[in-house]
Structure 1
Amino acid sequence: MTAPIGTPDYDALLRANLERVFNERDAATRQAAVKELFSETPTMYEPDGIVTGQAAIGDVAGALLEQFGPDFAFVAEGVAVGHHGLGYLRWHAGPEQGPVVVRGADVAEVEDGRIVRLWVLLD
């Protein structure tokens, strides 16, 4: 089955978010990715709170990387799926050579190919 014309590539978008935002240690590079991948005024829903704005989302990603150390990374599991503006990607995270520390999923509302709202769900 082929996706309708204009349908976002959910897998590419959600993987880019994981790699270029949540795994990016350079703040300027991370913010450039946030600006490209997220809408002008995105909202991210985390278990501990709600974050609004591109800069704040980039700051949260950077703080997570600092908190967990230099070899901590998020890794996509499988292929992201989605339709009608809603995409879903499972992931796990932990040290590169260590055990998985956390598993979860990102669920994103997408408009015009960019993330408008992102829910971070932890297992």
Structure 2
Amino acid sequence: MDTQSINTLQQTHTAVWNEKDRTTRDALMQTIYADAIKMYDKDFILTGPTAISDFIDTLFAGDANFKFTVTKPMESTQNGARLYWDIRTGPNVLTGMDFFVLEKEKVAHLYVFMDAR
């Protein structure tokens, strides 16, 4: 991945996870996520942008102060990339990493790793 592609993916992914307006968020998702994207969490798998956007809605519903922040610049290798982040939820901070597998220049698989608290 070239530097511009990495920066675009990082910025758009961050915007997606911070966007409260569903219409705006879904439009952003279309630009970087494949139609059949799968998001893997240790407890569940979500399939498709709609399911991921529904999940983000539940995060905002649970905490109006939810904030996704990048902690290190995205790094890539071949068709993969990783992004370290933290999530502020009220007084708590969760940390973790997203690992992206890209196919045809869009995220086909998103693996979410949450650090232990």
TM-score by length of 2: 0.87
Matched, 1:29 2:24: yes
Which has the bigger relative contact order, CA under 8 A and spacing at least 6? 1
1:88 — aligned with what? 82
SS of 1:101's equivalent? strand
Residue 67 of structure 2 corresponds to residue 73 of structure 1: yes
TM-score, structure 1 normalization: 0.83
Q: Secondary structure at the match of 2:19?
A: coil
Q: Which residue is equivalent to 1:55?
A: 50
Displacement after TM superposition at 1:89 (Å): 0.4
Distance 1:8 1:56, change over 3 A: farther
SS in structure 1 opposite 2:54?
Answer: helix
- Name the CA distance, whole Å, in 2 between partners of 1:100 and 1:44: 23
Cα shift at 1:12:
2.5
Kindly state the Cα deviation for residue 8 of structure 1 after the two structures are TM-superposed. 7.0
Give the SS at the match of 1:28. helix
| Structural RMSD (CA) | 1.9
